[in-house]
Amino acid sequence: MNEIETKINSLRKKLIQHNYNYYVLASPTISDREFDELLKELEQIEDAYPQYADPCSPTRRVGSDLSKEFEQVEHTYPMLSLGNTYSEDEVREFYNRTARLLNEPFEIVAELKYDGTSISLIYEGGKLKRAITRGDGARGDDVTANVKTIRSIPLQLMGDNYPDKFEIRGEILLPWAEFDRLNKEREDQEEPLFANPRNAAAGTLKQQNPAVVASRRLDACLYYLLGENLPAGTHYDNLRIARTWGFKIPDVIRTCQTPDDIFDYLAYWDAERKKLPVATDGVVLKVNSLRQQRNLGFTAKSPRWAIAYKFQAEQAVTRLLSVTFQIGRTGAVTPVANLEPVLLSGTTIKRASLHNADIIRGLDLHIGDYVYVEKGGEIIPKIVGVDTGSRTMPAGDEVSFISNCPECGSPLVRIEGEAAHYCPNESGCPTQIKGRIEHFVSRRAMDIHIGPETVEDLYNAGYIKNIADLYTLDLPGLLRLERWAEKSAQNLMDSLEESRAVPFERVLFALGIRYVGEAVAKRLAYAFLNIGQMQEATLESFMQVNDIGERIAQSVVNYFAEENNRLIIERLKACGLQMAVDETILTGRSERLKNISFVISGIFTRHSRDEYKAMIEQNGGKCGGSVSGRTDYILAGDNMGPAKLEKAKKLNVKVINEDEFLNMLDE
C-alpha cells in the first residue's frame, strides 16, 4: 500500500469514527470545523487520485444531483407488520400465549416503537450494499443513494467481527427539531406543510435527488439483525454487538423476565417518550431467543414472537365547523368533521373522521360544538366526545347522516349487519368510477404511471369511463389533450404495456372487489387458478377457501353476477391481461392433500410451522387456526396445546406427528 492510499484510508477511518461519535453517540470529540477540514482534505486527495474512489467514502454523504427511477428489489426475508395491542390485558395475553406455545423459560425484549418509515439495510464485507424500503412486504424500493446521505447510518462498519453478509432493519426518522425547521421554511415559501414527521421522512426518502435528502437531516434507529451467521443466539445480544460495529442502536432496550417488568417499562416510557427528540407511538415486545422465535414462527401477516403495544392517544379540544360526506371507490360514505385547527401530538389537526351514522348519532353532534379529538393509533384523528357543557344556546344545527349520494344523488343503502352506508350506483357515480380507476392503476395493483389528477382529467375528457378504457388510450389521442407532452404520454403507454405482465393475483386485487385485499386476492387466485373458474364458482366453493368467510364470498359472487363487471373482465382479457396463475408457478404443486384440512400445533424439529403450512397449501390442503368438526388432522409437534388435544379427542380428529405427515406427502 503506497503513501497516498495509506493517507486516504487513515482519513476515512478517522471520519467514520468522528461521524459515529457525533451522530450515534452524541459525544463529538472534535469541533464541526475540524471535522469539515478533515473532510475537505479527503475530498481533495480523492479528486486528485480518482483510482482510489470508494462509493462508501465519507465524502459521498452529500448525495449527487442525478435523478433516477427507483428499482424494486425482493426482500430476502419478508418485512411483515406487527400485531397491535392497546391494553395491558392484551400484553398479558400475548405473554401467556407465548408461555403456552414454548412451554419453557423465555425472556422478552422491550424497545420503543419509533414512528418513522421502515428500512432494510444490507451489508456485505462490512460495507453498505443496499437499502430497501418495506414496500409491500415482499419487495421494496432500492433507496441506497438516499440512505447514504443519512449520517447515523454507517457506510463502512467499524471493527472486524461482523458477518460477511447480513441485514439490519430499523426506522428512518425525521427529528422533531428538523420537522419544525422544514415546516418553517415551507411556511415562509408558502408551500404546503408536512403533516407529521413520519410522512415527511417517508416522502424525503422517495426524493429523486439525494442532495435534497441530505439537506433534510434524516436520522435512523436500528432494531433487528437478520442473517445466516449472526454473532449471538439472542436478539438483545445481537443488537448490543451491532452497536460496536457503528450502528445507532437505541440504548433504551431492556430484557424483561416477567409481565411486571414489561408493565414497568410501558409505564415509564408512556411519560418519558414525550421528552425524546423523535416521534414514538408505542413499545415493541419480542421474544429474545432466536431459536424460540423460529419455533413460534409467523402468521400470514406478522410474527408470533413479537407484538406492538400502542400508547393511549393524546386528546385535544376544538370546535366543529362543518361536516362533509365523502364517497369511496366501493361506494362507502365517510363523514368527515372539519375543525378549527388544533395542535395534537405534534401535528395540526383540521379534519377528523366520524366513521358512520351510528357514531354521529351516539355523539349527539351539533355544528359549533366543542369536541374531544384524539388520534386512533396516534395516526388518524377522530372525534371521541362532545363538551356539552360549553354548548351555546340555542345550539347549532344537529349533524345528521345524509340520505342521498352527494355526487350522483342516488338514495343511499345500508347492508344488514354493516355500519356503513353505500351509494349503490356503481356504474354511474363519478366518484366511484374514478376511485376504482385510481385503485386499478395504483402501484400495488397494476402499477400504471398516472395519479388521481390525471385520472380526473382523462375521465372529464371522456377518454375513460371504466378500467378497461385505459387500454384503448393511444399516443395521438393523449397528445390532443392540454398539458400532455410526448414524453409523459409515452410513459403512460409504456406502463400500460408493462401492466399486461402483472400476475393474476394482482389483477384480481386491482379489480377492486369489495373486501378483497391483496392477501385475499392471492388466496382466491391460487384456489381457483383462473378467472373463468372464479366466475362460475358458488358461494359455498368460495367459503371452502382458507380464511374466506361468508361476507367476502358473497361480495365476490355479487361482483361476478353483475353483467357490467363480466363485460369489463372480457375486455381486459382481450387486452392481454393475465387472467390465470402462471404455469411456471404451479410447477411442484400437487393435489395430494386436496380438500384435507389441517391444524398445526406445537414446536417442530424438522421444519418450522410456516414451512409445514406452505407444504400443506402447496399440495392442495387447507390450514385452520382452530380445531372444528371440519378439521381432518392435527399436525402436532412437541408441547401441543392441551385444549386443542382435548377438543381433538372430543371431535375424533386424528393427531399425527411430523414423520406421519411427511409420509402422507411421499405417498
- Cell numbers at 313, concatenated: 392517544
For residues 603 and 530, the model is more confident at: 530
Same domain, 133 and 204: yes
Whether 473 and 447 share a structural domain: yes
Closest by Cα among 619, 609, 612, 551 to 586: 619
pLDDT band at 522 (very low <50, low <70, confident <90, very high): confident
Among 126, 140, 144, smallest CA distance to 63 is for 144
* Domain-ending residue, one of 586, 609, 638: 586
Q: Is residue 407 part of a domain?
A: no
Please name the helix (run of DSSP H) or strand (run of DSSP E) that holds residue 475, with its range, or none. Answer: helix 475-479
Question: 304 or 375, which is more confident?
Answer: 304
Number of folded domains that form the chain:
6
The mean pLDDT value for 124-138 works out to: 91
Q: Is the peptide bond before 394 cis (omega within 30 degrees of 0)?
A: yes
> Residue 527: what pLDDT?
86
Residue 662 C-alpha cell reads as 411427511
Does a structural domain hold residue 151? yes
The model's pTM = 0.54
DSSP conformation class of 86: -
DSSP 8-state code for residue 249: -
102 with 233, same domain: the answer is yes
Domain containing 116 — which CATH number? 3.30.470.30
Structure confidence at residue 617 as a pLDDT band (50, 70, 90)? confident
Considering the domain boundaries, does residue 419 fall inside one? no
CA distance from start to end of the chain: 63
Which candidate, 268, 299, 303, places its Cα nearest to that of 283? 268
Q: Are 192 and 326 part of one and the same domain?
A: no
Residue 404 placed within a domain: no
Measure the CA–CA gap between 122 and 129, rounded to whole angstroms: 5
CATH code, domain carrying 538: 1.10.150.20
386 and 463 in one domain?
Answer: no
Within this chain, do residues 161 and 196 fall inside the same structural domain, yes or no? Answer: yes
**The domain boundary residue, chosen from 559, 586, 613:** 586
pLDDT tens digit sequence for 524-536: 998 899 999 999 9
587-599 pLDDT per residue, tens: 767 888 888 889 8
Average pLDDT, the chain: 87
Is there a single domain that holds both residue 236 and residue 152? yes
- Both 463 and 435 in one domain: the answer is yes
Catalytic residues, which ones? 113
* Least confident range of 185-189, 410-414, 477-481, 582-586: 185-189
In a domain, 136, yes or no: yes
CATH number of the domain that 644 lies in? 3.40.50.10190
Does the structure show a pLDDT above 80 at 318?
A: yes
Assess whether 223 and 118 both reside in one domain.
Answer: yes
Work out the number of other CB atoms within 10 angstroms of the CB of residue 274: 12
Which of 79, 143, 82, 89 lies closest to 113 in space, CA to CA?
82
What integer is the mean pLDDT of 191-201? 74
Query: Same domain for 211 and 99?
Result: yes
In a domain, 78, yes or no: no
Q: Is residue 467 part of a domain?
A: yes
Residue 12: give its domain's CATH number.
1.10.287.610
Going from the C-alpha of 633 to that of each of 17, 103, 238, 616, 651, the distances in angstroms are 58, 23, 39, 11, 11
Shared domain for 219 and 144, answered yes or no, is: yes
pLDDT over 80 (residue 383)? yes
Domain membership of residue 658 as a residue range: 597-666
What are the tens digits of pLDDT across the range 43-55?
889 888 888 888 7
* Domain boundary residue, one of 566, 586, 606: 586
Q: Say whether pLDDT at 426 is over 60.
A: yes
User: Which residues 6+ apart lie within 8 Å of 639 measured at CB?
Assistant: 101, 102, 103, 104, 602, 603
What single-letter amino acid sits at 155? L
Band (pLDDT 50/70/90 cuts) for residue 380 is low
What pLDDT is recorded for position 192?
Answer: 60
Q: Do 299 and 227 have their domain in common?
A: yes
Characterize 474-501 residue by residue with b for buried, 16 or more Cβ atoms within 10 angstroms of its Cβ, and e for exposed: eeeebeeeeebeeeebeebeeebeebee
DSSP string for 146-197: HHTT-TTS-SB-SSS-S-SEEEEEEEEE--HHHHHHHHHHHHHTTPPPPS-H
- How far apart are alpha carbons 488 and 451 in whole angstroms? 12
Which residue is associated with the grid cell 375528457?
461
455, 434 Cβ separation under 8 angstroms = yes
Residue 629 lies in a domain: yes
For residue 362, give the CATH number of its domain: 2.40.50.140
pLDDT digits (tens, 9 = 90+) for 271-297: 888 788 898 889 999 999 999 999 999
Cα–Cα distance for residue pair 606/168, rounded to 1 Å: 27
